Structure 1
Amino acid sequence: MKCFAPFCCCKTQPWDCLSHRPSFTCGGVVSGESGFIGSEGFPGVYPPNSKCTWKITVPEGKVVVLSFRYLDLESDNLCRYDFVDIYNGHANGQRIGRFCGTVKPGALVSNSNKMLVQMTSDANTAGSGFVAKFSAAEPHERGDQYCGGRLEKPSGSFQTPNWPERDYPAGVTCSWHIIAPKNQLIELKFEKFDVERDNYCRYDYVAVFNGGEINDAKRIGKYCGDSPPAPILSEKNELLIQFLSDLSLTADGFIGHYKFRPKKLPITTVPPTTTAVPTTSIVKPTVAPCQQKCKRSGTLESNYCSSNFVITGTVITAVTRAGSLHATVSIINVYKEGNLAIQQAGKSMSAKIIAVCKQCPLIRRGLNYIIMGQVEEDGRGKIFPNSFVMGFKTKNSKILNALKNRTC
């Protein structure tokens, strides 16, 4: 196995060499060219209901590079319970990322010589915690590890490390934070795109978020493969682009371009695209007149076969746009998938759903539902005022499983 100071090399885990094992406490102030931080009591189980903060400082003129060597926190698709937050600076800095579970992120790079790491735990499930190494690097070093940054010019480009000479390296994380003036939006498009292909983009991927944080509730999309994503338009004046590669296969990478544009443009304006994506997949759908009776019709049985998809899930985001409701549903179970686009991150799956009339059927964030509906060309689910949508209870699973096993 790979060894790293101050741990010695052992045949099992590096922390098994008790005489050389460092003692980690809850937080602290650390500085220097490099060093290690770890959760309280590592490798024992970290304590419940705690919040530990580490302030890292490297020499002036350098940036902080943080690499997780071990990560074992309670797993949750939104990291709501036990998690590690990484911030630029020591106070009120931009959050670089939030992590939990056991999948280590690639190298994380601050935009100054200061970084703040904060670990939070709740009262329940715990794990062994984490160990991470920090080191100082030159801010403009563009080698195999470092990329990303803050982009504030009216237009510009960004690309994966090594582009276009060779493949991007394994085990990197890059975050580009684009900030436009308050009264402008950001238009983003990828000219060339080649990221390790996987049906659910679990290994290498590009994720784009509204705002300046890595936050699943604000994620616009997650992309991989060799087809450039359709052009993206931000909701407000900030976008965050995250690129992550795991420790296995790599590919050519990508180059992307952005530009600022005024807020007040007709909704039907479609940004130019260099790909063969049909314009229907990037134009916001026209809202259908909400004149139908706001009541679901029929029963679970009568709606099952006529629906393109049937899922149960928890609404984790719900945003109103032009009279319709755009929701992200964390899936509990899929009974009929059809052409519904389902994204997977680890063991969690989610899908995008549009209710063409925002109040009908009424769905609320945080609640569980059975949702039956149709699917648009871009893979998003669509529900109408008379679509069959109802609150989900465990007792409903029996009848849904029976429907899943019958032939339509």
Structure 2
Amino acid sequence: MLIGFGCSTQLLSEMYGIIMSPGFPEPYPRDTERNWNISVPAGFRISLFFTHFDLEPSYLCEYDYVKVEAEGKVLAVFCGKEETDTEQVPAQRVITSHRNSLSIRFSSDFSNEERFSGFVAHYSAVDVDECSEHSDEEQLCDHFCHNFIGGYYCSCRYGYQLHTDNHTCRVDCSGAVFRERSGVISSVNFPAPYPKSSNCSYQIEVEEGFRLHLQFDPRFDVEDHPDVTCPYDYIK
């Protein structure tokens, strides 16, 4: 898609590919801008590696440069041929996007005193292991997380069912009837934390002529709220 003299943008959606400066291996033209916007499926990142790099050197890359961006943030700006205090080259560095898109911009100014051959870069889609990238405090799944190429899925321990949100493990804790004259009823896993997204119904039935006396353990611990009575978890 032509967007101006000496300037063009190419959209890339393959899982891997090669990007080269205009005319490579011949010296790149002056006063030129090229843009490559890479997008791969969700669940992947983009890895970028330069195998050749030879651009005009300049202070802080103000003349010719290659700029790598992702989600509006600049990941790197390269120019020159060798690393200096004011110029950065790719060398053996692998650049990886945070998500599934990456943009590369090549720009040359109106004059070059020498001839520079440009660059060659290779990109590829890299699977994201969502399960290993979250800490215990930021779990994607309540119990088990399983990574596959392009995504992940959750599963639960025996006795639990996966909630419709496909992340939460809930337990079927209804239907039991207690007919003994004394006994103990506890939340699932007590004294460990009770499972999320569960709706437990307990039925107590004894012979006629008796009443029921219910006494809660001092360790009673159900989610509360400082301003509203039992808006989230509750026992009724």
TM-score (norm 1): 0.29
User: Scaled by the length of structure 2, what TM-score is found?
Assistant: 0.49
Report which structure shows greater RCO (CA 8 Å, sep ≥6): 2
